[in-house]
Structure 1
Amino acid sequence: MKTLNNKNRINKAKGFTLIELMIVVAIIGILAAVALPAYQTYSDRAKFAEAVLAATPLKSAIEVAVQTKNPANLAALAPATLGIPADITATTDVHGSAVASGVITITWKSDSSDLAGITYTLTPDGVTAPVQWTQGGTCLTNGYC
């Protein structure tokens, strides 16, 4: 009798049933459906960091102008004056940048991505050093910055 029980255990098939495999595939599909939109958002946020970094040279130029040129007011902080670079228009290859009364506006290039036309702004608190900046733009409402 003992040998018969051992023989039955040896011949018993091992592995997963079809229903178990189908359940696992369904769970993976549901997780992927939830994860892909979140991944796209993280990917767009990482891409938009490029536009945030594009504001750095303009920010530095305005801070240097405030410290060395002593402008009377924010209106004096204009493009192509006091060492502030000239405005750049957004194209399909280049992000746009503009300075108006010290407010820096970076516009994402006009490509076919979800980020096209999204803006990032930095607003100075005045013309006394150290300059404090306030972030703004449509990137805040869209969750990219």
Structure 2
Amino acid sequence: MKRVQQGFTLIELMIVVAIIGILAAVALPAYQDYTARGQATEAMTLLGGLKVPTAEAHGNNPIAQACSTAEPVANTAAVGQPDNSTPAGALAASQNLVLSGKYITAIAATPVGTTACKLVATFKTAGVGESIGGKKIAFTYTPANGNWACTSNITNTSVRPKTCDLDTTL
């Protein structure tokens, strides 16, 4: 008589479970880096959207005013006196720019001496990948040559954007 197989043997099941365990051990770290890299993209996108307003603000104002979150101040000078109003900084709330996101706590602007403007995006500490929690990505604008430089204190090279140099002082 023919004998019909009724199921898997114990050894076959153990081999399948071992293979699944090995695949999971390799896939999980790669997936975590992949998701952190996707989260880091939010900072690059938000900072990229601030390039034009920052360059435009600098074209009309000194770097200290342009590279700030200062709100505009209306003219309070008496009639016949020089105008003492000041325009809004590039990142003023009245500009209605997006300065935070799902993974970004805030974006801050600080002048670098009198020659450049640094925009720094800070990642949240919770709800983001381990390798980017609390880390920063910065775009630095140099008006003299119109260049933008990207730096970051994300040490994991598979997560840090390829266009950003490592800067552990951020």
Instruction: Give TM-score scaled by structure 2 length.
Output: 0.61
Q: How far, CA to CA, are the matches of 1:133 and 1:82 in structure 2? A: 22
Q: How far, CA to CA, are the matches of 2:3 and 2:153 in structure 1? A: 67
Q: Which residue of 2 aligns with 1:31?
A: 23
Shift of 1:28: 0.8
Q: Which residue of 2 aligns with 1:119?
A: 136
What do the CA deviations read for 1:62-113 (whole angstroms, capped 9, x no partner)?
12234x4274xx55642036640149x98x9962211112111111134364
Alignment check: 8 A CA contact 2:39 2:103 kept: no
Q: Which has the larger radius of gyration?
A: 1
Q: Does 1:56 align with 2:48?
A: yes
Provide structure 2 residue ranges, at least 5 long, that are not aligned to the other structure: 71-86, 94-98, 112-116, 162-170
Superposed, 1:101-112 pairs within 5 Å as 101=111, 102-111=117-126
Number of paired residues?
130
Q: Does 1:78 align with 2:47?
A: no
Q: 1:93 to 1:33 in 2, by over 3 A?
A: closer
Superposed, 1:83-98 pairs within 5 Å as 83-86=89-92, 95-98=105-108
Q: How far, CA to CA, are the matches of 1:93 and 1:15 in structure 2? A: 48
What SS does the corresponding residue of 2:50 show, helix, strand or coil? helix
Q: How far, CA to CA, are the matches of 1:78 and 1:43 in structure 2? A: 32
Instruction: Give TM-score scaled by structure 1 length.
Output: 0.69
Q: How far, CA to CA, are the matches of 1:128 and 1:70 in structure 2? A: 14
Superposed, 1:34-45 pairs within 5 Å as 34-45=26-37
Q: Which residue of 2 aligns with 1:3?
A: none
Alignment check: 8 A CA contact 1:61 1:83 kept: no
Q: How far, CA to CA, are the matches of 1:46 and 1:93 in structure 2? A: 10
Q: Could you tell me which amino acid in structure 1 is paired with residue 60 of structure 2?
A: K
Q: Does 1:137 align with 2:128?
A: no
Provide structure 1 residue ranges, at least 5 long, that are not aligned to the other structure: 1-6
Stretch moving more, 44-53 or 107-116: 107-116
- Alignment RMSD: 3.2
